[in-house]
Amino acid sequence: MRYGEKEIDEAKLEKWKNPATDKNYHIKIESREFTCLCPRSGYPDFATVAVDYMPDKFIVELKSFKLYLNKYRNVYISHEEVINKIFDELVALLKPRWLEITGDFNPRGNIKTIITVNTESARKRKKGR
């Protein structure tokens, strides 16, 4: 196993203390090389994953986030499931003031998918709306 594969295999999301808890500011992160596998066909799916969040006490450590996203490259998972899973794991780790994640998947079979979830839609989902 190469060192990069080992890093990806052992990756865990890490949080750091927010250096400016007294401010409302946004952090935007974008990964243009996200991949996972279609659970039906096994074909690769490619996407840009964009995260926009307003931190409270913690921020995500960027290298850990990059390696975490790379863990999905051999996972059979739908577009909807993976974006919601990433969202849930970031909310649990960071407990941000606000968070939105968008998965902009490349067209396959002439179909383009964009999945967006944010803290407001998640609250409505929990209330059953």
Dist. CA 3–CA 13, nearest whole Å: 18
Please report, for the chain, the start and end positions of each structural domain, with discontinuous segments joined by +: 3-127
Q: Which of 16, 17, 5, 117 is nearest to 67 (CA)?
A: 5
Dist. CA 64–CA 113, nearest whole Å: 26
Cβ neighbour number for residue 3 with a 10 Å cutoff: 7
pLDDT tier, 14 (very low <50, low <70, confident <90, very high otherwise): very high
CATH annotation of 3-127: 3.30.1130.10
Per-residue confidence (pLDDT) for residue 55, from 0 to 100 = 98
Residue 122, pLDDT > 70, answer: no
Dist. CA 30–CA 34, nearest whole Å: 10
Which residue out of 22, 45, 52, 88 is catalytically annotated?
A: 45
Which residue out of 9, 22, 36, 38 is catalytically annotated?
A: 38
Residue 98, pLDDT > 60, answer: yes
Per-residue confidence (pLDDT) for residue 112, from 0 to 100 = 96
pLDDT digits (tens, 9 = 90+) for 26-82: 999 999 999 999 999 999 999 999 999 999 999 999 999 999 999 999 999 999 999
Indicate if 45 belongs to the active site. yes
pTM for the structure as a whole: 0.91
